[in-house]
Structure 1
């Protein structure tokens, strides 16, 4: 509001001082102040969507990598392509069949998750953010998510065999893989329709579940938070749930399960996640389409 008032106010009025913040302007006179300025600058790489897992398990490691990369000619897009190559290697290792290969592949996928934090950090620090870079990062993330459930499905098919649950007349691993891929693709379509057409973002974390019409336009619905009023088990689910569905938690959980030789549990969890998410975002999508039609008719 202050910035808008400064632009729209009377040109003859005296200029009003607008606080710029310490990060935007920091005096550097020697090496000590330069190091202090660098530490201060690193604050901008934190994203508001970061949860506790990202903040305490991922950012400290990615910060160390970013401090190295930021002083090289390596671009954020090159980091994203590196992540894509790492994911391809990890998925191939996971799908090969042997449990040792699945452990190695899942570890590579976890390492790729850490490197995946670096491209955005470098982009923000070096002012190299771009729509192409954001979409490149997004496409790599989503392809790796779909690829992981496929890789685990193929691994289970090869390691446990089609008769693991008895004579079913079909391969349960491949059937579950196909169903999960369809569910994932439905979710991806609904989520990205939401953020591209309405929200105007390339980040799936900006997804908005509910909208309302305000002054003829769609706006995110303002919902009062009543978490404190919930029964304790539901309150814990409301607090923990948003964290355990994040990619960073899934990467660590998958590695732990695979090390315990529970790849079928990891696969089943991914399939279940897809089957739960798809109906939820589909309902949101249908509701959004109806609101868009109402807004169009009102206009």
Structure 2
């Protein structure tokens, strides 16, 4: 049986105590057993780790390397055992999270209180922006993306899909009328986005095919929540994700228009992270906690 970790612990005790006999006493072994164990390690490695004399022990250059690396390894093993013994409360550190504004505010933020109740020592460093961030450059642990993914070395977990819809406030529709078809959009104020991946075109379904309609309006913004609020204020029509508008639709603050034009208009939502199976435990804990709840959130 491979017991290199045990051998390392004995070696560390010998060095720290300064003698075989003292290390043997502290580890409840005989001095001859400790001496034989150290000799076996040296024989396996093919180098001397300790210089022995009647007065003292001293580390060789190879012994110093073995001592330092063993100290780090054993400390890591102790940390693993503490985490397991203490359960989720033992996990600590910072998890850097990036999300679009709407998904972060409506999907992620409501989950944080429950997460901290279970993992009180983990800090969530949350950044919200509808611009795409670079996980490498921004040192982000987890990024939530709405829309198509680019090929990369990152690991992706699909959370679900977000349906897009066109909505407007009752006050706006009372003043400007309800569009009956996509051609009517030319006579309406259409709220849009100004980030780089956006454009002033709404891909809409018309008679079974997708038609790109150029739209214009009084506002372009860099996040969906601003567009939603302006739609609620009666400034125009907005094409936004269903999860943005869900509560406003239930409360009657927004009304869906042209539902046939946005049939099948969905975007996948993913959680992206670096490291694959080697992701740090604190990041894995965050992903395991939020993934099922975010899937339920997207499902409505």
So what's the TM-score if we normalise by structure 1? 0.22
| Bigger helix fraction | 1
Name the structure where strand makes up a greater proportion of residues: 2
Larger radius of gyration: 2
